Each structure stands twice: as structure tokens, then as C-alpha cells.
């Protein structure tokens, strides 16, 4: 790998932590700025997403993140891998233009799967219904889509939770990536969906040839050095497709701890990794997107903090950019009890840093924190 810039594993960790706003301030100290730096925030658990974003914005609380959703600077929608994400609204046209270009792979059998024509009809029906009706629940969309696309869209053929869902629901992600569906404000405990054009009448996803270079730039800024294999895994996309995406002069190869990987062109300056202690919640963007896994989850960490090789199912304790523990929180009235399990003896300095992190978690959750050092007995995603 002669002639390539060289980055050690420590330098790779350093740049990713800094760019995710964990060891250096994000450029724009707002929820939207933090989410842009993270290249999206997974939001399957809204409370975990609030914590993940607020940790990167000095002085922010869960209310700050909720206000960003209310004022529409953040949008909640379906992102990579079909998971719920928070995305900066200003970048939504880029994200949807890129995600809509990812080749679709249906897990359903022929008798359940939508044909291309049916999928297009569903997307059109969803868009028409949300434009006409405003915010709708899935149950309300069941009726609207079947009425607009045809009775076949309502056939109960999708296995789900000991029952069956209507056929059209397999295209919810496609409708989101087509730019006709995002999450609404909600109706009590009910989830709702709305059309982004109700907020911005001119909203359109960018064409793929414009969106994909911007999307790749954001991904490599947050997770580079990275390979086409890394991006394929993160997007759940075909490897051949991501390899073509990397075939551009906007990126360059580097030697990343003996592995050929790519960064944005010219982005090879090393970053220093100082001492740090950080608590990251469920489904934080950094562990989920971090490859190779063993550099963040060495030894005991892989056994204790991964679930079948997948990151995000356990909140993690990072010490100097490496997973050295797991943790769990439980809300009890005005208190939040934080239990931290670590397999590394903490020096007095690191213990003080951990205390500060626990205090910050309490501040974000608008609660009084109480720390316990000891085993975490709950399972993944508990």
C-alpha cells in the first residue's frame, strides 16, 4: 500500500469520535447539526434518540430535541435498513434521493410480494391520501390505500405479530424514500404519518445522481475510512452497487491500520485521541456504523456488548474510544438510576469523568441521576 496515507486504528477511532461530537464540538450546536454530524440518528426508541442527540449539543435536554421535531428542523422518517431515523429536514431531499436509489430486496414470497406496478400504485395512493387528509394512522391508511389503489392492497397477507397485515404495508419504506411519507406529530399514543409537501409544497427528493455523491460524502465524513463492504452492510445494499458508488474521484484510498479503505478526497489529516469517558445509549449512530467492529469492541466487549455481532442493542461505556462496559438506566419518578458495568478498573480521573457523564444524562432526561457500579442484568434492548 505504498503511496497511501496511513491512519492507525487509534487515529481512526479519534477522527470518528471527534466528528460524531463526542470529543470535539459539532460545527453547528443544534439538534439538526448534531444529527448531520452523526449522519443520521436511529430513533426506534425515541427516548434513546433524544439522549443520543442531546449528548452532542452542550446544554441540550430531551425537550430541546422534541422542540426540534416540533419546529421541523428535524424529521422522523424511515432511514437506512428500514429503521426509524431522525434526519435534518434541510438534508431530507438528499437522504431520500439516495435511499430511494438503493436497490430494493424484498423478503416476501411471490404470492405476497408487490409487483413493481403495484408498488408504484401504493406509493401514489399513500401520497394522495396524506396530501388530502393530513396526518393519518396506519389503520386509517389501510382504508385509504385500498380505496385508492384497489382492494388487492388491503389483502391480509403479510405475517405480523400472530396475525396478518395488509399487502400494501410492505411499501411503507418505499413511500418514505419516494418522499411522500414521514412521521407526523402523533395523536396521543398513536403514531401518525404525513406528507412532507404539506409543510413544504415544493418538496422533492433530489435526483439520484445529485443525491448519492452528497450522501456518500456525509457517510465518509462520519464513518471514514470505510469500504464499499462497510457501506453495503450499513445500508443493507448490494455490494456491487456500493462498489460503483465508490468509483469516483471524490474519494481516495488510505491505509487504515493495514486495511485499504476510503475517505473523502483530501481528508487524510490525523486526529489525536485524548482521554475520554462517554456513555452512549441504545442504537447510537457511532457503534452501529463502526467498522471493523473489533476495533471498537475488543475482547470482552464483543461478548458483552454485541448481540449476534450487531451493535446498538446495549448502551455502552466508551473509555478512550473503546467499549469498556455496558450500562442501563431506569426512571423512577424524579430520579434516574444509572447502573454501569465495566470490566476495567477506573482511575480516579476516569471515575470523575464517568460521574460527569452520569450527571449529564440526568440533565438531559430532566431528572436527578443516581449511579451504581455493578452488573447490568437486563438483556439486549431491555
Question: What pTM was estimated for this model as a whole?
Answer: 0.94
Same domain? For 190 and 282 the reply is: no
* pLDDT for position 215: 98
Same domain? For 191 and 281 the reply is: no
Same domain? For 85 and 180 the reply is: yes
Whether residue 235 is contained in a domain is answered as no
- pLDDT band at 104, cuts 50/70/90? confident
* pLDDT for position 3: 82
Total residues found in the chain within this entry: 382
Reported as a single tens digit per residue, the pLDDT across 264-298 is 999 999 888 889 999 999 999 999 999 999 999 99
Q: Give the residue-averaged pLDDT of 132-140.
A: 94
* pLDDT for position 108: 85
Whether residue 232 is contained in a domain is answered as no
Which of these three, 168, 198, 228, is where a domain ends?
Answer: 198
Same domain? For 292 and 168 the reply is: no
Reported as a single tens digit per residue, the pLDDT across 182-202 is 999 988 889 999 999 999 999
The number of domains in the chain is 2
- pLDDT band at 382, cuts 50/70/90? low
Whether residue 256 is contained in a domain is answered as no
For the cut 80, the answer to whether the pLDDT of residue 247 exceeds it is: yes
Whole domain around residue 178: which residue ranges? 9-198
For residue 292, is the peptide bond before it cis, meaning its omega torsion is within 30 degrees of 0?
yes
Please enumerate in sequence order all residues whose Cβ is within 8 A of that of 114, keeping only pairs 6 or more positions apart, or say none: 106, 122, 167, 168, 170, 171
Cα separation, 325 vs 18, whole angstroms: 20
* pLDDT for position 105: 82
Same domain? For 32 and 172 the reply is: yes
* pLDDT for position 231: 98
Whether residue 67 is contained in a domain is answered as yes
Same domain? For 176 and 301 the reply is: no
Which of these three, 157, 175, 198, is where a domain ends?
Answer: 198
* pLDDT for position 4: 92
For the cut 80, the answer to whether the pLDDT of residue 1 exceeds it is: no
Whether residue 154 is contained in a domain is answered as yes
The percentage of the chain sitting over the pLDDT mark of 70, rounded to a whole number, equals: 99
Which of these three, 161, 181, 198, is where a domain ends?
Answer: 198
C-alpha cell at position 55: 449528548
Same domain? For 55 and 164 the reply is: yes
Same domain? For 33 and 182 the reply is: yes
* pLDDT for position 337: 97
Same domain? For 182 and 283 the reply is: no
Cα separation, 173 vs 167, whole angstroms: 13
Same domain? For 322 and 182 the reply is: no
Q: Give the residue-averaged pLDDT of 164-180.
A: 95
Q: Is 247 helix (H, G, I), strand (E, B) or coil?
A: coil
Whether residue 313 is contained in a domain is answered as yes
- pLDDT band at 116, cuts 50/70/90? very high
Hey, what's the torsion of the CAs at 304, 308, 313, 319, to 10 degrees? 40
Same domain? For 188 and 317 the reply is: no
Cα separation, 259 vs 264, whole angstroms: 16
Whether residue 1 is contained in a domain is answered as no
Q: Is 298 helix (H, G, I), strand (E, B) or coil?
A: coil
Cα separation, 347 vs 242, whole angstroms: 43
Average pLDDT over the chain reads 95
Whether residue 348 is contained in a domain is answered as yes
DSSP class of residue 110? T
Q: Give the residue-averaged pLDDT of 214-236.
A: 97
Same domain? For 182 and 76 the reply is: yes
Amino acid at each position: 500500500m505504498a503511496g497511501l496515507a496511513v491512519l492507525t486504528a487509534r487515529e481512526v477511532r479519534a477522527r470518528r469520535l471527534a466528528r460524531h461530537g463526542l470529543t470535539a464540538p459539532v460545527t453547528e450546536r443544534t439538534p439538526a447539526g448534531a444529527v448531520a454530524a452523526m449522519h443520521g440518528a436511529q430513533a426506534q426508541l425515541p427516548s434513546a434518540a433524544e439522549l443520543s442527540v442531546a449528548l452532542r449539543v452542550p446544554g441540550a435536554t430531551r425537550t430541546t430535541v422534541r422542540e426540534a421535531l416540533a419546529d421541523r428542523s428535524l424529521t422522523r422518517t424511515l432511514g437506512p435498513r428500514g429503521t426509524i431515523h431522525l434526519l435534518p429536514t434541510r438534508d431530507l431531499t438528499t437522504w431520500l434521493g439516495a435511499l430511494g436509489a438503493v436497490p430494493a430486496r424484498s423478503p416476501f414470497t411471490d404470492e405476497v410480494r408487490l409487483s413493481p406496478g403495484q408498488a408504484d400504485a401504493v406509493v401514489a395512493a399513500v401520497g394522495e391520501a396524506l396530501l388530502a387528509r393530513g396526518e393519518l394512522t396506519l389503520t386509517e391508511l389501510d382504508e385509504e390505500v385500498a380505496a385508492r389503489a384497489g382492494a388487492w392492497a388491503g389483502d391480509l397477507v403479510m405475517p405480523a405479530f400472530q396475525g396478518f397485515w395488509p399487502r400494501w404495508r410492505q411499501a411503507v419504506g418505499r413511500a418514505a424514500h419516494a418522499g411522500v411519507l414521514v412521521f407526523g406529530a402523533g395523536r396521543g399514543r398513536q403514531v401518525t404519518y404525513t406528507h412532507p409537501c404539506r409543510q413544504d409544497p415544493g418538496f422533492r427528493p433530489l435526483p439520484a445522481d445529485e443525491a448519492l455523491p452528497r450522501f456518500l460524502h456525509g457517510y465518509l465524513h462520519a464513518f471514514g475510512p470505510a469500504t464499499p463492504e462497510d457501506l453495503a452492510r450499513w445500508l443493507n445494499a448490494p455490494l456491487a452497487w456500493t462498489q460503483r458508488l465508490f468509483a469516483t474521484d471524490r474519494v481516495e484510498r488510505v491505509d487504515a491500520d493495514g486495511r485499504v479503505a476510503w475517505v473523502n478526497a483530501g481528508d487524510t489529516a490525523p486526529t489525536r485521541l485524548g482521554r475520554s469517558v462517554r456513555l452512549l445509549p441504545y442504537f447510537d449512530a457511532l457503534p452501529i456504523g463502526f467498522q471493523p467492529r473489533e476495533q471498537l469492541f475488543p475482547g470482552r466487549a464483543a461478548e458483552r456488548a454485541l448481540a449476534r455481532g450487531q451493535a446498538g442493542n446495549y448502551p455502552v461505556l466508551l473509555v478512550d474510544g473503546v467499549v469498556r462496559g455496558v450500562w442501563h438506566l431506569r426512571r423512577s419518578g424524579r430520579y434516574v438510576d444509572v447502573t454501569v458495568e465495566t470490566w476495567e478498573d477506573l482511575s480516579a480521573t476516569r471515575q470523575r469523568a464517568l460521574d460527569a457523564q452520569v450527571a449529564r444524562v440526568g440533565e438531559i432526561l430532566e431528572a436527578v441521576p443516581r449511579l451504581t457500579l455493578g452488573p447490568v442484568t437486563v438483556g439486549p434492548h431491555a
